[in-house]
Structure 1
Amino acid sequence: MTFTTRPTLRGTFGMVSSTHWLASQSAMRILELGGNAFDAGAAAGFVLHVVEPHLNGPGGEVPAIIATADDPTPRVLCGQGVAPAGATIEHYRSLGLSLVPGSGPLAATVPGAVDAWLLLLRDHGTLPLSVVLEPAIDYARNGHPLVPRIADTIATVQELFEKHWPTSAAVWLKDRRPVTGRFSNEAYAATLEKLVREGEAAGADRQAQLEQARKTWREGFVAEAIDKFSRLPHRDSSGEDHGGLITGDDMAAFQASWEDAATYDWNGYTVAKTGPWGQGPGLLQSLAVLATLGDVDLDSADGVHTTVEVMKLSYADREAWYGDSADVPLDTLLSPTYAADRAKLIGPDASLELRPGSPDGRPPVLPSIATGNETGDATTGEPTVSPVGETRGDTCHVDVVDRWGNMISATPSGGWLQSSPTIPELGFCLGSRAQMFWLEEGLPASLAPGRRPRTTLTPTLVLRDGEPVMACGSPGGDQQDQWQLLFLLRHLGAGMDLQEAIDAPAWHTTGFPSSFYPRTTDPGGLVLESRLGKDIRDELVRRGHVVTESDPWSLGRLCAVRKEADGVLAAAANPRGMQGYAVGR
């Protein structure tokens, strides 16, 4: 029997997996109260804002994919906020910037997460908002134990807080030290409580209450505070002070939305992702190319090499074709003919080039930084995962399946405590997702008002014979779909148990432009966990990979829930970092 760090949980009532045990257990409490997977997912999402403030926040965003017991068709919940009306390439260039900063007010898009969670509850939830928000309000008001990584994160930006972001220093420093131990955020608790009160003022109808809470968020006291604070000049990762661009009008104009999922049929399953405004279809492209290559042994150097070269091709296409400002030829990118042509590029040695394809004969267009014509400012921004797996500003994830068969996969992120100065009246800060736009005209991911940045956030839903069977996902920035690819190959391809597939050694490539400021590229870069072994590492080096060996348990942040063929529900969670947990019964 293969060793795993934990058992795969199995039961029949409901299963939750998330990146923090308090979020998982809070979601399970909602299921126990009679709520469904969508009530539970939203409860977990709001708790994650509180207990993982270095990884996400209410000023950030959340994409999710759901399937309901009544309609198994996967649907994408888009809680990715857009660029403000004043966010033009000309404005940033007029400030002497060639890249959108990785932190500070200029890096913010309109917050999307809270409106998305409220929309989910309005359309598919069952419980009152007060019940769903109760765990988050309790932890924010009465305190929760901070995980050690939060203090570590605060320490990296302590000087910035003390010298330039005093409102953040007031929240996250005590006696000139990062806060530790039991921590409460009473300003955010008051924000949530006011949303509940404003919603309940709309009357007894649950949907009317949720609509009023959404309106309050977009047009009421939250929007007013953001409008007032966001345009104050603050230091950002360019090394200069700049004001932001979000206004009350931008807040009022944005609403989360529903849209169709991008799907690909592979190995008897249908894998559903967000559209190509995010990086999600890159995972589908990787599966399509691998389908032309036959079985891949992930316990061998050849298997590592093959998956890495496939992922490089998918990410090259991401750079050339994906983005909310583009007409993305997704049908061609996922076609068998295109996949076969791409597979022919994979040789025995590592490629050190960025090699996008030409779907439908269209020439690819890359940002100049990717072709070596321009160099980004080397000032430290907000990386998500360092080359050796260290997280400095990352992402969260939650998956839920309930006893009726409702299922959700959600990847909340942005609005990290180190993203932007804390808005004192609200208890949270804005996000920094605009750093994923390019300040060049004519690119798929060029900055434009009202457009979504090409996000790295990429939840996954899997169906079999038209019925949802699994929700999964991972934090990790550009690595999210790379780690998910390995998980799917192991679990759905090789038949590994959920926990076994999550625990298995992981790797990823960095051989493409990073989505995060300062948008660096590491040609041939390959990061792998050391437990893969010396023989595999040495063979990969011989093939030309530029290998960075990470700690043995440092890469991959997977969560997953599953509905098995006999109706039994299962869940597993990542042991790395000792923070993610699955619960269920």
Structure 2
Amino acid sequence: MTELRPALSGPSAGVASTHWLAAGVGTAILDRGGNAFDAAAAAGFALQVVEPHSNGPGGDVTIAVYSRSTGTVRIICGQGPMPRAASIAAFAGLGLEHIPAAGVLPASVPGAFGAWLRLLAEFGTMPLASVLEPAIGYASRGYPLLPSAAQTIAAMAPLFRQEWPDSAHVYLPGGQVPAAGSRMHNHELAATLERIVREAQAVPGDREKQIEAAHSAFYQGFVAETIDDFLRTTKVFDSTGRRHHGLLSADDLAGWQPEVEQPYELNYHGLSVFKPGPWTQGPAFLQQLALLQGHDLPEMGLDSVDYLHLRVEAAKLAFADREGWYGDPRHVDTPLDALLAPEYTAQRRALITADAALDPQPGRPGGRSSWIPWAQPEPATADEPSWMTNLRSGLPTVSPIVNRAGAGNTCTVAVVDSEGNMAVAVPSGGWLKSSPIIPGLGFALGTRGQTALLTAGHPNSLAPGKRPRTTLSPTIVLRDGRPLLAFGTPGGDQQDQWTLQTFLAATQFGLDLQAATETPTFHIDHFPVSFAPRTARPNTVVVERSFGPEVLAALRRRGHVLDVVPESTLGKVCAVGVDPTTGFRLAAAGSRGRQAYAMVR
């Protein structure tokens, strides 16, 4: 394997992100005396501006933090619940069998903005104005438009002009499609953030009081009022081909607070691996690790047929359980402890044979049973415009190749500081293709509700006030209670497959962190995609061509159906860490897409 980027290490700190500007923002905050949590929050707010096709203030985020002062890992939930008016009956009353991919019907409470504030308030040190300053600067003074963002705007421009005028106002300056690399502004978003800062600074008290005031401005003040007014008075054209009012209300926003939760933990060869709970897909990472515990991976070889086959089959079993069992644990009894129990894992591991499993099913922890809901995607009409086809896809991308590879979805930022604090976040949702820009605010609402099911009785069924299961899944790893790694990636359903490849390459095969992000990778497409139209390709493995013809041919002989994609097209893993020998801080950003960037101090 030829490494494309150097291994980065330094004595003080490291930052990695899916956008070079966000990495620079995080590094600048560290240089100004902020800690890892200040830096991650500032980078996260900046990502909402410079990657508008992948995330925004109206979207969602999952954040994992390791605090050196307490020695603990915590998860900040930035996945807002569905509105109180959202029920299976409500969608049935609209004549819908699936939650739409785009528009305002799939909107849950916007969790990203509040979660970043919670990170700053509970773990950070800097005032809100300092942390929001870079995002406001890029929104007001401009930033270079990414090629993928320009491609999305060009593809959706007819919709913006015909149906979503405020999206056209922001993203079609002068009525024209902006070119990649051109200076892009979002003056409305800058004004929104500036007003939040002003209202926060008007409140007497310390930085925590001001952050609380900023939360109130968004969730109980002018932002919530503007969202409520827009959804009550405007019918929005959506992916159903019709226009609907939204279900989200000011009361839904006012009643929500981001929570700090306990993570789930698995010991893997002496490493403590921490993931968010089953309201995300994160435990599937732990289930895959548990299945791999009984095998000597280094003996197999990183790119060998045996290793790839084992990884694919373990992924099938773990994701079958995700499809059958994962949901918001506040609303359903998700038997995660049983799913991670050694006895259950041994039973599942015994199902792995030398041939590809064609019909993997959820297990039966404690004798209980569940099922996989296989959707029937609605066929596109022959004469629909290309923008409508894109609108029916719940992913943020518009290129069929990128949709297949998954490399263009979502964002990531990871930070480690001089004290050993670590933060990693995967923000998403509220992208410019999801729903129209809300007049006067400069951002769109998210569409995470599309990942919930209109099928009664399933753990991920829609219910009022319930979190739809999210794909956003950061990871933190400790060794002997000390910080080792923090990482994440864009990629929807593939996140906990691509990051697992990086984790194993670094910890089991001895690759440096940068090389571990660049190793050839793959993922399964067997199960329904979490996003509309919930397509599935049973027994299909998407694999980079760089594995070589002999390995690919051997996989086919074992019964796998391969979708071979070009080299270096799967994922943009971003990672930071601490070298346990030297104490140097590490940072790495996958070279795929020529966009992610890492920096060290």
TM-score range, shorter chain: over 0.9
What aligned pairs does 1:149-160 form with structure 2 within 5 A after superposition? Answer: 149-160=148-159
| Residue 43 (structure 1) shift | 0.2
* Structure 1 residues 579 and 507, CA gap change in structure 2 (3 angstroms): same
| Residue 375 (structure 1) shift | 4.7
Matched, 1:564 2:574: no
| Residue 234 (structure 1) shift | 1.4
What aligned pairs does 1:424-573 form with structure 2 within 5 A after superposition? Answer: 424-565=439-580, 566-573=582-589
User: 2:326: which partner in 1?
Assistant: 322
Which of 365, 370, 381 does residue 393 from structure 2 map onto? Answer: 381
Contact preservation (8 Å) 1:99, 1:376: no
Q: Match of 1:383, as an amino acid?
A: L
Q: Match of 2:587, as an amino acid?
A: A
Q: Match of 1:457, as an amino acid?
A: L
Which of 261, 277, 280 does residue 278 from structure 1 map onto? Answer: 280
Per-residue deviation, residues 202-252 of structure 1 (Å, max 9, x unmatched): 124111111111111111110011101134221211222222111111110
Contact preservation (8 Å) 1:387, 1:548: no
**Secondary structure, counterpart of 1:196 in structure 2:** helix
Contact preservation (8 Å) 2:407, 2:593: no
What aligned pairs does 1:38-57 form with structure 2 within 5 A after superposition? Answer: 38-57=37-56
* Structure 1 residues 391 and 525, CA gap change in structure 2 (3 angstroms): closer
Q: Match of 2:34, as an amino acid?
A: G
2: CA distance between counterparts of 1:166 and 1:392?
29
1: CA distance between counterparts of 2:6 and 2:256?
43
Contact preservation (8 Å) 1:30, 1:40: yes
User: 2:383: which partner in 1?
Assistant: none
Q: Match of 1:89, as an amino acid?
A: I
* Structure 1 residues 13 and 393, CA gap change in structure 2 (3 angstroms): closer
User: 1:219: which partner in 2?
Assistant: 220
Contact preservation (8 Å) 1:400, 1:561: yes
| Residue 549 (structure 1) shift | 1.0
1: CA distance between counterparts of 2:526 and 2:259?
33
1: CA distance between counterparts of 2:164 and 2:303?
48
2: CA distance between counterparts of 1:174 and 1:404?
44
1: CA distance between counterparts of 2:28 and 2:105?
39
Q: Match of 1:276, as an amino acid?
A: P
* Structure 2 unaligned blocks of 5 or more: 381-388
Q: Match of 1:201, as an amino acid?
A: A
Which of 336, 341, 344 does residue 338 from structure 1 map onto? Answer: 344
Q: Match of 1:365, as an amino acid?
A: W
**Secondary structure, counterpart of 2:239 in structure 1:** coil
User: 1:298: which partner in 2?
Assistant: 302
User: 2:599: which partner in 1?
Assistant: 583
User: 1:133: which partner in 2?
Assistant: 132
User: 1:349: which partner in 2?
Assistant: 355
2: CA distance between counterparts of 1:135 and 1:450?
34
| Residue 155 (structure 1) shift | 2.0
Q: Give percent identity, aligned residues only.
A: 49
2: CA distance between counterparts of 1:491 and 1:243?
49
**Secondary structure, counterpart of 2:435 in structure 1:** coil
**Secondary structure, counterpart of 2:347 in structure 1:** helix
* Structure 1 unaligned blocks of 5 or more: none
| Residue 392 (structure 1) shift | 8.5
| Residue 176 (structure 1) shift | 4.8
User: 2:435: which partner in 1?
Assistant: 420
Per-residue deviation, residues 69-120 of structure 1 (Å, max 9, x unmatched): 2112110000111100100110111111111111110111110011111111
Q: Match of 1:292, as an amino acid?
A: G
Q: Match of 2:441, as an amino acid?
A: L
The TM-score with structure 1 as length reference comes to 0.97
Which of 362, 369, 386 does residue 368 from structure 2 map onto? Answer: 362
Contact preservation (8 Å) 1:524, 1:545: yes
| Residue 139 (structure 1) shift | 0.3
Q: Match of 1:576, as an amino acid?
A: R
**Secondary structure, counterpart of 1:74 in structure 2:** strand
| Residue 390 (structure 1) shift | 4.8
Number of residue pairs matched?
580
Q: Match of 2:439, as an amino acid?
A: P
Contact preservation (8 Å) 2:407, 2:571: no
2: CA distance between counterparts of 1:204 and 1:375?
53
User: 2:385: which partner in 1?
Assistant: none
| Residue 528 (structure 1) shift | 0.8
Runs of 4 or more consecutive aligned structure 1 residues displaced over 3 Å after TM superposition? 174-177, 374-379, 384-393
**Aligned CA-pair RMSD:** 1.5
2: CA distance between counterparts of 1:176 and 1:140?
19
Contact preservation (8 Å) 1:387, 1:527: no
2: CA distance between counterparts of 1:477 and 1:384?
10
| Residue 368 (structure 1) shift | 4.9
Q: Match of 2:117, as an amino acid?
A: L
Contact preservation (8 Å) 2:324, 2:362: yes
Contact preservation (8 Å) 2:54, 2:431: yes
**Secondary structure, counterpart of 1:39 in structure 2:** helix
Contact preservation (8 Å) 1:384, 1:391: no
User: Greater shift after overlay, 105-114 or 344-353?
Assistant: 344-353
User: Greater shift after overlay, 406-415 or 530-539?
Assistant: 530-539
| Residue 393 (structure 1) shift | 6.2
The TM-score with structure 2 as length reference comes to 0.94
